[in-house]
Copies of this chain bind each other. A is one copy, B any other.
Amino acid sequence: MTVEKKRWFQIAFQLKGSVISAIYKRVIVCGLFGVLVSILYYFNLSVSQPILGSVIPSIVLGLLLVFRTNTAYERFWEGRKCWGAIVNTVRNLARQIWVSIDEISAEDREGKIATLHLLVAFAVATKLHLRGELVTDELEGLIPNSKYRKLKNMNNPPLEVAFWIGDYLQRQYNHNCLNSYQLTAMQELLNNLVDNLGACERILKTPIPLAYAIHLKQLLLLYCCLLPFQVVESLGWWTGLIVALISFTLFGIEAIGLEIENPFGYDANDLPLDAICNTMKRNIDDLISLSPSVELYN
């Protein structure tokens, strides 16, 4: 129990993954403004206006913040679901390729293994594409050289990888290593991969509508600027500290929303895409180590 409790406090004060670094400047500005107001109050300027508290009904602000939080989290979770679906589909497609495609000549098994690697390459290419990175050597080990070179000139590399997988399946069908029902079922899984690629792009490219982002920022600013006038009478010299704490609370929620909204990056709050890709690779390697009872060449 001590361990558990210690961890609770550890997490509460952890800096990595928290949004403090993103908002501390704004918080300090608000605090200094609070100090300024308490100085003015000290010199008897009539800056105390408790009624200002009703300018922005705290329920409106609170609900808008929650709306921000919910939509950002939904994107995060939808992004996670897409990657989960990519993992599942790669596993299913790999299993079906491994189990169902007949091996007539000796090279057929190698073709199957190359295609299983292409499946992992699809996931890796999607990861790089979502991060806006170029095609790197992370992909080089997974796809043949000729294809690797072609990929470098494409707008949307994962789409071309999907094309090659589709082309491989069609060729196996033409060589009678695959019947047409299985071809159709596998094409559907491939469609599924492309659908999830598209869904990730959608999350990446469509942030929350600008009008909400602007309106929320305006309300937050207004709220934090009016705050010192409300509380200076009762808090005196504590005004600065308290205003800073409140603005920390509110800016923090907004900043998390901003950070979570695009979950495909590198920081502590993003999805562990590298780990997911590695798991996929490991599952494929495990699969290759089992031998299916397909029709063998002889």
B214 & A293 in contact (Cβ 8 Å cutoff):
no
A160 & B56 in contact (Cβ 8 Å cutoff):
no
A60 & B18 in contact (Cβ 8 Å cutoff):
no
A202 & B81 in contact (Cβ 8 Å cutoff):
yes
> For the complex, would chain A's binding face be called helix, strand, loop or mixed by DSSP majority?
helix
B65 & A60 in contact (Cβ 8 Å cutoff):
yes
Q: Scan residues 75-109 of chain A and give those whose CB is less than 8 A from a CB of chain B.
A: 76-77, 80-81, 84-85, 87-88, 91-92, 95-96, 98-100
Chain B CB within 8 A of A134 CB: no
- Knowing A167-B293, A293-B167 are in contact, say whether A187-B96 is a contact too (CB < 8 A): yes
A163 & B287 in contact (Cβ 8 Å cutoff):
yes
Query: How near does chain B come to A95, taking the closest CB pair, in angstroms?
Result: 6
A253 & B60 in contact (Cβ 8 Å cutoff):
yes
Alpha-carbon gap, A185 to B60, bound state (A):
49
Most buried by B among A1, A12, A209, A293: A209
**Interface residues as binary, A206-220 with B (CB distance below 8 Å gives 1, 0 otherwise):** 100111111101110
Q: Using Cβ atoms and an 8 Å threshold, which residues of chain B touch A250? A: 60
Q: Using Cβ atoms and an 8 Å threshold, which residues of chain B touch A252? A: 215, 218
A198 & B64 in contact (Cβ 8 Å cutoff):
no
Alpha-carbon gap, A170 to B60, bound state (A):
56
Chain B CB within 8 A of A176 CB: no
Q: Which of B55, B282, B292 contacts A170 (CB 8 A)?
A: B292
**Interface residues as binary, A50-69 with B (CB distance below 8 Å gives 1, 0 otherwise):** 11111111111111111101
* 11 pairs, CB–CB < 8 Å, chain A vs chain B: A1-B25, A17-B214, A18-B214, A19-B215, A55-B245, A63-B65, A84-B202, A85-B198, A160-B290, A209-B256, A212-B256
